[in-house]
Structure 1
């Protein structure tokens, strides 16, 4: 009865509080520290908790430093490879236990979310599901480099997909005919597939996505456009994300 009598303002506040706790990962952190506390049963429980949060704070600082190192330059520049190695070294100093250091799946997942900030939540979930590692799994440099680069390219890919959508949305209605949208998805799939197989084919792949090349291709299918079924940009980007994920290959 009391729950049903709650005012809308109270419900909104409760929802905001819940959202805050979820975003700040407080519940997950508290569950983790309590699990470690009961598993280790230290003599000084409070000191153990204090050490845990100090370690978490230091890890957070390393994560931020690692992220800034990754974002210093575009992935197409030669120095990017050096920056990735430096970023991994920063996270590799994370303390795992007594005398043990390394990159775990837990902090690795946090980095994925950090790199993808600004992209839709659904995209972050899809990428995390594909790239994440088990919480306490050791992440090697090879896996780290692969995932970080995949995310960097993905953000560029989404920008290209959005630009292509706007190119066809000549009336600025926020929608395009599904026939044209399907064509763009096919072009994106073909382009990324070429680039994935041979980085040197990236220039040729870029040509296939130029406005002139698209105009030629669109003209060929324009008679099939019905004007009855449309797709908006949000849905198009979701489908574009699926295309990208479908072409990803696990690191060797």
Structure 2
């Protein structure tokens, strides 16, 4: 049989292959079922981005950190499934090779994951956060420490969004700058709302949402009347950094 005939026969066999056989041969069906199962279980805000990240993470070339990062992004930390995903992420990183025949989660891979989780935060905030959560490079990271650090990063993402929303409210002229006196009032009110005993990341965020409306209004009104003469301005980045300082003061330092 000539090479030309062989090619023709191969083409005919491919054509006869059913859609189901094609999916089974390429394993696409299993991959799609798995992806759909995860998207239904996790209910992500952006399903399309979820699919893209999911398929990136299952590539052979994806690092352990990339895979753990994708698992943690599957669902919001407020959902019950999040804790299960944290455990899965920890188990993924447990395959990290520390030394010859030694595997586990150490300070190096843990900090790499926290850096990945914090990539959308302002640089100044990330630097301060990682300093708080920093562990020694060859230190074995227990699950409780791992979970605490991951949760702090995830909650801080929402906290920054809250700070940016507050700044937009203070930026009356939509010029990218707000009256510093008003910004200072919000920071002071937030510090008061946080209190001196709050150390749980979720409770810190709740305090941000539960600022006393009446007290904040009166404080802003007084600040407006005092700041007419010396109306210095503050940028969004400066305001967010100050707001995050209030959060980071409550985060327990691992070291």
TM-score, normalisation: structure 1: 0.68
Corresponding residue for 2:91?
89
2:139 is paired with a residue whose SS is: coil
Deviations, residues 130-184 of structure 1 (Å, cap 9, x unaligned): 1121211111111111111011111111110111011011111222222111111
Corresponding residue for 1:230?
233
Structure number with bigger Rg: 2
Give the distance between the partners of 1:109 and 1:120, measured in 2 at CA: 17
- Cα deviation for residue 203 of structure 1 reads 5.7
Task: Choose which of 152, 175, 178 in structure 2 pairs with 1:176.
Answer: 178
Matched, 1:206 2:228: no
Corresponding residue for 1:240?
243
Aligned length: 195
Instruction: Note the residue ranges of structure 1 that are not aligned, 5 or more in a row.
Output: 1-57
Corresponding residue for 1:143?
145
Instruction: Note the residue ranges of structure 2 that are not aligned, 5 or more in a row.
Output: 1-59
1:208 is paired with a residue whose SS is: coil
2:178 is paired with a residue whose SS is: strand
Query: RMSD over aligned Cα, in angstroms?
Result: 2.9
- Check whether the contact 1:142–1:251 (CA below 8 A) recurs between aligned residues: no
Deviations, residues 96-133 of structure 1 (Å, cap 9, x unaligned): 22332111111111111101112222222221211121
Corresponding residue for 2:27?
none
Corresponding residue for 1:65?
67
Deviations, residues 26-75 of structure 1 (Å, cap 9, x unaligned): xxxxxxxxxxxxxxxxxxxxxxxxxxxxxxxx896211110011111111
Deviations, residues 70-96 of structure 1 (Å, cap 9, x unaligned): 111111111111111111111112122
**Greater relative CO (CA pairs within 8 A, separation 6+):** 2
The alpha-carbon distance between structure 1 residues 197 and 131, as it changes in their structure 2 partners (threshold 3 A), is: closer
Corresponding residue for 1:127?
129
Give the distance between the partners of 2:204 and 2:66, measured in 1 at CA: 34
Corresponding residue for 2:191?
189
Deviations, residues 200-238 of structure 1 (Å, cap 9, x unaligned): 79767523266x774444224322223432211111122
The alpha-carbon distance between structure 1 residues 103 and 94, as it changes in their structure 2 partners (threshold 3 A), is: same
Give the distance between the partners of 1:228 and 1:158, measured in 2 at CA: 25
Corresponding residue for 1:17?
none
- Check whether the contact 1:207–1:213 (CA below 8 A) recurs between aligned residues: no
TM-score, normalisation: structure 2: 0.67
